[in-house]
Amino acid sequence: MATSALNIQKLLALVLLATTTSAVNVPLALAPASEAPVIAAAHVSLSIEGDRWTSWSGTTSGNQFFYNLLDNIKQITGHAPNLRIGADSEDVAMYHSDVNFQQATFPNSTVITPYPEANSLVVGDSYYQTIRFMPPGTHVTWGVNLGANNLTAAYLQTRAIANTFNSPAVKNAGIVLDHIEIGNEPDFYPSRGYRKGNWTAADYVENWTAFANNVSVAAGITPASHTKFMACSFASIDAGLSPTRAFDAGLVNSTSGKLISTISQHMYSGAFCSGGDFLLQGLMDKYTIRSNLTTLVPDIRETRARGLQYVLGETNSYACHGAPGVSNTAGAALWQIDYSLYALQLGVSKLFFHQGIGYKYNMIQPAPLNWSSTTDAPLSPPQAPHIQPQYYAALVVAEAIGMSTTTRVAEVFVDSAVVTGYAFYEKEQLVRAVFVNLNGYFNASAPRGSVHLDLAFAGQGVQGPAAVSVKRLAIDYASDVAGLTWGGQTYETADGRVAGQLNMTTGPVSAGVDIWDSEAILLSFQ
């Protein structure tokens, strides 16, 4: 019996050794292939639930914490994240000129949904005017109500939005209205009681076009204007509506349809709407990330073939505000890095990661929380504004993009089930690379695995850079909800600004680099 147990222990030790030490050859092209896409500075952007917009923006003065976190990104890339404001709230929102900022009513909170969306929302001019508190140069998409099927309501909202972006305060800050979005997730309108059950792509196109004819006048949208329409915003490829079906029904054939510049779909890796147990490693899985995103490829191709941009106008880990212990963790930050960059390879121009006050999957909690976002328990004192781990993912991607407006990105082949990589090029030359180890590290009693990356520059006789600097997104455990550092520095500060001493290492490319389980690294070549 003792001998058998000893043999089992030896076998386990050999298995652990095999899984904790490995090496792979990583070929890096010094110049990008012709099909390598350009990445937008605001590739990682934010979708914000409109019912508590003024908690993000501030009212009579700006929310300095939120401003700082947007400005951090702007200092790295030259552009703050784009903002899409609305989501579910846009289809319950009404405009009234007498309302100061907003009036909202909310359902009762629950353990599954501690911070539910509003079931009614009335906004005034001052609600929209708080956009002036965003960093100069911010680009915005704002949603108007299609769900109520009230042309007058949508017209009044749009006119208030247009007046805001034509105001001196907003124009002088260079804050720009990129799009009006008419309706949120119209494929779900029958289940939400907004339309009758037999709601087809042809019905959507007819309804959208009627609204767009009026909204384009209110917003001053013309072929020559900067502001255009973001259309579709469908939530599911299985709900009967899709961009391809909308195109087939004539979406872009009308005068208003020709004012569409961008097609949006929404994407989540699953849904927490009824609760349940979700595994963090399931979210982080390299194969799952790819299999989920590639379901969008037919619609991406149809969209881009028409010369339109394709975005994930609302996305995140698990729908209905995220799953506790998964969506709010360091592992979700690693998922977001790979998810964002792989989506680019498929033709996704930008990703708008959905945010709301108290949502579990937020990058940023911009206002005090009076009850827990994961358990609905009261918090006394309230939890102060803070970042969550996914904010570090935005930082990693931003630094990889850099200040160039023409940075191109190519996925790097890494013969590993857990490590992914992307090469970044400026002026057709390799300058940086990001690698992510998606293998979850959860248990201090087990050895922490690593993968050694042997870097080689593709092509015979090619003389590549001799030295490489390494910056690490350091994580203790994939399940951590705080305590991450990026290059030894933290953004988990009272004002959202970086603190601590920068820590990077430099060595010869020939030595390669190790990447630990549950870690991301940025390589800069010299």
Which whole number is the average pLDDT over 235-245? 83
Pick the CATH number of 44-401 from 3.20.20.80, 3.30.70.920, 3.90.1300.10, 2.40.160.10: 3.20.20.80
d(CA 31, CA 462): 11
Ramachandran quadrant class, 193 (left: phi over 0; alpha: psi -120 to 50; beta: rest): left
pLDDT of residue 461: 63
Asked if the 10-36+406-525 domain carries CATH number 3.40.50.920, the reply is no
pLDDT mean over 401-429: 97
Token pair 């469908």 is found at: 234
Summarised one tens digit per residue, pLDDT across range 172-196 is: 999 999 999 999 999 999 999 999 9
Percent pLDDT > 70 in the chain is 95
d(CA 204, CA 189): 10
What is the pLDDT confidence band of residue 10, given thresholds at 50, 70 and 90?
very low
**Rg value, the chain, Cα:** 24
Helix intervals (H) in 148-200 = 151-165, 168-172
Give the Cα separation of 305 and 61 in Å (integer). 44
Name residue 309's beta-bridge partners: 262
Residue 27, preceding bond cis, omega within 30 degrees? no
Instruction: Write the DSSP assignment of 417-464 as a string of letters.
Output: SSEEEEEEEETTEEEEEEEEE------TTSPPPEEEEEEEESSTT---
pLDDT, one tens digit per residue, over 245-264 is 999 999 999 999 999 999 99
Residue 13 pLDDT exceeds 80? no
Q: Mind listing the pLDDT tens digit for each residue in 474-497?
A: 999 999 999 999 999 999 999 999
Query: Which residue reads 């990583």 in tokens?
Result: 26
pLDDT at 2 over 90: no
Distance CA 427, CA 370 (A): 49
Average pLDDT over every residue of 496-516 = 97
Quote the CA–CA distance of 181 and 102 in Å, as a whole number: 20
The confidence band for 240, taking pLDDT boundaries of 50, 70 and 90, is: confident
Domain boundaries, the chain: 10-36+406-525, 44-401
Residue 12 has pLDDT above 90, yes or no: no
Q: Do domains 10-36+406-525 and 44-401 have the same CATH topology?
A: no
In the prediction, which pLDDT does 265 show?
A: 97
Q: Does 14 have pLDDT greater than 60? A: no
Q: Which residues pair with 111 in a beta bridge?
A: none
pLDDT at 239 over 90: no
The pLDDT, as a whole number, for residue 238 is 65
DSSP symbols for 328-339: TSHHHHHHHHHH
Angle, vertex CA 311, rays to CA 310 and CA 317, nearest 5? 140
| Cα-to-chain-centroid distance, residue 261 | 20
In this structure, what are the phi and psi dihedrals at residue 88, rounded to the nearest 5 degrees?
A: -50, -35
As a whole number, mean pLDDT of residues 443-463 equals 87
d(CA 87, CA 407): 30
State the pLDDT at residue 482. 98
The CA distance from 272 to 183, in Å, is 23
pLDDT per position as a tens digit, 273-325: 999 999 999 999 999 999 999 999 999 999 999 999 999 999 999 999 999 99
The pLDDT assigned to 20 comes to: 55
Q: In 3D, which of 240, 337, 247 has the Cα closest to residue 301?
A: 247
For residue 341, pLDDT over 50 is answered with yes
